[in-house]
Amino acid sequence: MANFENVEVAREFFYKDLFAVNMGITLDELTEDEAVCSLKLNENHKNAYGGVMGGAIFTLCDFAFAVMSNQIHQLTVAQQVSINYLSAPKGEKLIARARCRKSGRTSSIVIVDVEDDLGRDVAQFVGTGFKL
């Protein structure tokens, strides 16, 4: 059962996450099974080499993880996370799709796959959520 009635209710809740919102991350879609978030890239997201900063990608993943985890069970916090950076983004936008892999009594496992708007795989994030 979903905790948020619809995506608008979830947006209202998660847009209090000022760090993610100020970075430009948006919550685009939310169902019982998936959260889709995105980030339109700009100069503020670049590292010294001109590529996208790993922290920007991580923050997008963390936000999508938080939305999906709390859609499963409120209140859930991150207990452990890991990320694999697969390819440098080439497009202008990153899209993160978070899906629950396992929801147990006290924890959940959420997988977040990130691609750019050209379809290039950028990262995979795995998060363990602890259900409070």
Q: What is the distance between the alpha carbons of residues 71 and 27, in angstroms, rounded to a whole number? A: 13
- Tokens coding 49: 């080499």
Phi-psi map region of 63: left, alpha, beta (phi>0 left; psi -120 to 50 alpha): alpha
Residue 104 sits at φ, ψ, to 5 deg, of: -105, -170
**Domains of the chain, earliest start first:** 7-131 (3.10.129.10)
pLDDT values of the chain reduced to their tens digit, one per residue, 132 residues: 689 999 999 999 999 999 999 999 999 999 999 999 999 999 999 999 999 999 999 999 999 999 999 999 999 999 999 999 999 999 999 999 999 999 999 999 999 999 999 999 999 999 999 999
pTM value surpassing 0.85: yes
Whether residue 38 contacts residue 92, with contact meaning beta carbons closer than 8 Å, is answered with no
Q: Which of 113, 29, 1 is nearest to 14 (CA)?
A: 29
- Tokens coding 115: 């691609």
